[in-house]
Amino acid sequence: MCASRSPRALALPQEIWWLVSQEFTSRRDHLSLFNLARVNRSMANMALPLLYSIHDESPASTGDAAVLGPRKWAILWRSILTSSLGDTGDAMYPYCLWIKSLSLGNLFSLLEDLAREPYKEIRAWFFSAPLEPFHILVSGARPRSRRTGARLDLDRIIFAAADQVTDFIKKAATEQDKTVGLTSLEGYHLPSARLPGWVSKLSLLTNLTIRDGSVLNSDVSEAIRENCPHFKELLCHYCNAPDVDEDMSAFLAGLNPNTLEHFTIMSANRVGAMTFESLSQHASSLKKLSLCVVDSAVAELPLLSNCTNLVDLTLEVDAVLDSGWAHTHRQEVREVASWLQRCTSLKKLSVIVLPGTPYILAEVLKVPSIQLTDLEITVSTTHEDTSAFSSALATQTNLRTFIWRCSDGWFGGSGFIHAICQSPELRKLDLVTQMLKMADFYKVVNTMTELEEFSFDIDSDEPIGDESVFALANLHHLKTLNINATTAFSYDGLLALFENLGADPAAAHQGLSIHIMRQAGTEKFSQAQLTKLNGIVETLFGGKLEITYDRDPGELSESDFSD
């Protein structure tokens, strides 16, 4: 939209323009909001706060260097920092007061780029007036060279930027009674000594994202408790310090009870019993829990048994335990199953190499009040009876996403596939590691016709051919297809598939992505055929086709000539 400045453009009631602004915001239409804000002061009152509130979702904030590069990042961050200096004249809405997320990790990435010699011109512009105070070099650093670039002190620049922005926000909110929008703080390196000071200035903080969670302790939670009444989400990439279990426990215990709603630790950590016990202090409020569980802490999972209001749960064990672990820890396995059975609000469940998974889920999925929409399971090779699990899975008729990973490829047989087919609402089915019998494959594509994403493999001594391609045309909403089976599809067969899919309603396959991962090397397409096929997929669906070939036994490779 390009808003007109004529009186006719403003003839509509203000309420209508407010609805228009809201619609632009929901569509993430940054350009239209910007143009609307330029009409006059009244329009700016509506559009600018909304535009600033979604700045972190604009193309300039996505980090897609291939599209925009460091220059756009530099413009974004220079605008934020300059607005925090208070030297913006009569600016109606200083930029930094309206951003929702202060992503110091993104600023760190930008500074890494600016320190390189190819970006010296952007660097000089970025640190020009009034941002000279942020141009901080490593103490005692040698003059930059063409090879190494500038020796920027990245951490000190980040600290100075965070100090400046949070100080300005605090002052604007308390002394000038201005509305602020910042609710999320994210960073790579947020030291324990500075973090309490930063969060104490952000009264609307709801979300904290930290690369190293070991910086969290009781001092940080005290600052949050006293200054951030809306805080509810914590995400840590890892927590690896020796005392992290004690410190994380103290952090959680220091928050107001039953205020934390989301808690995530994504990868390597040393949290365990103490952290799990402190999470129980948020048992009533906790809705999303995502834990990468160190092997020594798996036996402590029953300590989470009070957390029964969960809607979204991920339990990922960071190492495959001995195959006998579940047998020697039967009591703990039963207690985990008992805990999950009481999580009757659960909608999304992800269980990754958790010992005893078939038994646990057989007990959990059969509970009538538990109806999942998303289920992801990864198990190692198992020799357990899977019939109870398959029977319980068959009761989950509201599933929309099912992702399955198993190292042996033949888990559960046809009973397992029959159970999956009891979910008529399923939209995403990922069985890329499951070796389907041909009869089971046909059962899936003839039954689950609402599938939008389908990934599979086939248990067959011979490559599957065009008859399988024709069956895939039953998927009238297909948008993503990944075939891990050995295939021998023909050019005419794929043309027929695209023709059949093209007969469905126009948007049914929009953005269609097909990856044929193991087309037989003896059945290669010519370049002209590939060009034609890709052109059809692009024209009909705005999509793409990718084909990877198995080696043709008749072809020689470099290894055939090695000694």
79-121 pLDDT, tens digit each: 899 999 976 545 567 888 888 899 999 999 999 999 999 999 9
Looking up tokens 């109606």 gives: 92
Those residues with Cβ within 8 angstroms of residue 9's Cβ, 6 or more apart along the chain or in another chain: 3, 39
Q: What pLDDT does 60 receive?
A: 46
* pLDDT-derived band at 11, boundaries 50, 70, 90: low
* pLDDT-derived band at 381, boundaries 50, 70, 90: low
**CA atoms of 297 and 271, how far apart (whole Å):** 7
Higher pLDDT pick, 145 / 199: 199
**CA atoms of 250 and 255, how far apart (whole Å):** 9
- What average pLDDT does range 459-477 have in this prediction? 94
> Which of 338, 331, 339, 334 shows the shortest CA–CA distance to 307?
339
Tokens at residue 389, please? Answer: 């699990």
**CA atoms of 371 and 344, how far apart (whole Å):** 8
Percent of the chain topping pLDDT 90: 70
Q: Is the pLDDT of residue 535 over 50?
A: yes
User: Hey, is 225 helix, strand or coil?
Assistant: helix
pLDDT tens sequence across 239-291: 989 999 999 999 999 999 999 999 999 999 999 999 999 999 999 999 999 99
Q: What pLDDT does 494 receive?
A: 97
Looking up tokens 């048992």 gives: 283
Q: What is the DSSP letter of 196?
A: H
pLDDT averaged over every residue in the chain? 89
Q: Is the pLDDT of residue 156 over 90?
A: yes
Those residues with Cβ within 8 angstroms of residue 80's Cβ, 6 or more apart along the chain or in another chain: 95, 96, 99, 165
**CA atoms of 501 and 498, how far apart (whole Å):** 5
Q: What pLDDT does 478 receive?
A: 98
Q: Is the pLDDT of residue 221 over 60?
A: yes
Q: Is the pLDDT of residue 197 over 90?
A: yes
* pLDDT-derived band at 561, boundaries 50, 70, 90: very low
- What average pLDDT does range 546-555 have in this prediction? 79
* pLDDT-derived band at 168, boundaries 50, 70, 90: very high
- 486, with CB counted inside 10 A (0-12, 13-18, 19+), is middle
Among 18-27, 191-200, 443-452, name the one with the lowest average pLDDT.
18-27
- 376, with CB counted inside 10 A (0-12, 13-18, 19+), is middle
**Helix pair 104-114, 154-174: axis angle to 10 deg:** 140
- What average pLDDT does range 62-71 have in this prediction? 55
What sign has the CA pseudo-torsion 141, 127, 95, 110?
negative
Higher pLDDT pick, 355 / 58: 355
Among 73-77, 286-290, 318-322, 474-478, name the one with the lowest average pLDDT.
318-322
Higher pLDDT pick, 52 / 343: 343
Q: How far apart are the first and last CA of the chain?
A: 67
Q: What pLDDT does 129 receive?
A: 95
pLDDT tens sequence across 286-309: 999 999 999 999 999 999 999 999
* pLDDT-derived band at 63, boundaries 50, 70, 90: very low
Do residues 247 and 217 touch, judged by C-beta distance below 8 A? yes
**CA atoms of 494 and 320, how far apart (whole Å):** 40
Name the amino acid, one letter, at 546: E
Higher pLDDT pick, 346 / 182: 346
Q: Is the pLDDT of residue 226 over 60?
A: yes
- What average pLDDT does range 150-176 have in this prediction? 92
* pLDDT-derived band at 563, boundaries 50, 70, 90: very low
**CA atoms of 289 and 283, how far apart (whole Å):** 11
Percent of the chain topping pLDDT 70: 89
Tokens at residue 178, please? Answer: 């201005």
> Which of 185, 190, 226, 233 shows the shortest CA–CA distance to 211?
190
Tokens at residue 123, please? Answer: 């660097």
* pLDDT-derived band at 2, boundaries 50, 70, 90: very low
Q: Is the pLDDT of residue 384 over 90?
A: no
